[in-house]
Homo-oligomer: A and B are copies of this chain.
Amino acid sequence: MSPRTPKQFQDIREEKKTLIMDVALEHFANEGYFKTTINHIARHAGISKGLMYNYFVSKEELLSEIINRSIAEIYVYFDPDKDGYLTEDEFESFVRKCFMLLKKQRSFWRLFFQLLMQKDVREQFLSCHLGSIDSIHTSPSDKENTFLSGILKSITEYFTRKKERMLSNYDPVTELNLFIYAVKGFAITAIYMDENDDFIYEKTVNRIIEIYK
């Protein structure tokens, strides 16, 4: 009979928000952001259309929050308190973490690459995160982006250092790029593979480390 406490309200909100975002991510990832209707999300989340707008001001903001949540997860995962220097073992660990994240966030990466493929969408939702995750190629100017561009810098240095241990015709930039292409290529392949095919992850990550460590 007594009214809910603010804490209870907070909990309900948090829980529902998470539920909606989870459902929405799944549908955005599978059916596509544009083809997924608010109606559809609401129905699958077991709530009314109106409630959606109690939690998110618009479909766009729902997408935005989903992206930010996943990006934040990545940040946490990679422990930003690194100095810039990457040892060989740290490089290996970094690569393994990338593959781990790919598995953990399959749906997000499906959504991510999907958005990446549309000019205006990419500008609206991803520009603030690109220059980092998307890799060096698409927007080399955004280097001021601190966290992941920091990682990129570390890897670049790693490849430069590696050159000294290698043959003379070794071009660190091309090698770095190829490393990124391989990871990217695996990424867009893996996000559509059978979810439980751990074997190919293992094989791929091991071979990539073997080559580029």
Binding site for B on A (CB under 8 A): 30-32, 34-35, 110, 113-114, 116-121, 135, 137-138, 171, 174-175, 177-178, 180-190, 192-193, 200, 203-204, 207-208, 211
Contacts and interface: CB of A to CB of B under 8 A. Distances in A.
Count of chain copies = 4
A27 to B, nearest CB: 10
A118 B174 CA distance: 31
Max chain B CB contacts within 10 Å: which of A118, A120, A193? Answer: A118
Given A31-B119, A113-B188, A117-B117, 19 more contacts: A32-B118, A32-B119, A35-B118, A35-B121, A113-B113, A113-B117, A114-B114, A116-B192, A138-B193, A171-B207, A174-B204, A178-B211, A180-B185, A181-B184, A181-B204, A184-B185, A185-B185, A185-B188, A188-B188
A69 B113 CA distance: 25
Contact of A34 (B35, B186, B190): B35
A136 B192 CA distance: 12
Max chain B CB contacts within 10 Å: which of A113, A119, A137, A180? Answer: A137
Nearest to A197: B137
Contact of A207 (B174, B187, B190, B192): B174
A167 to B, nearest CB: 11
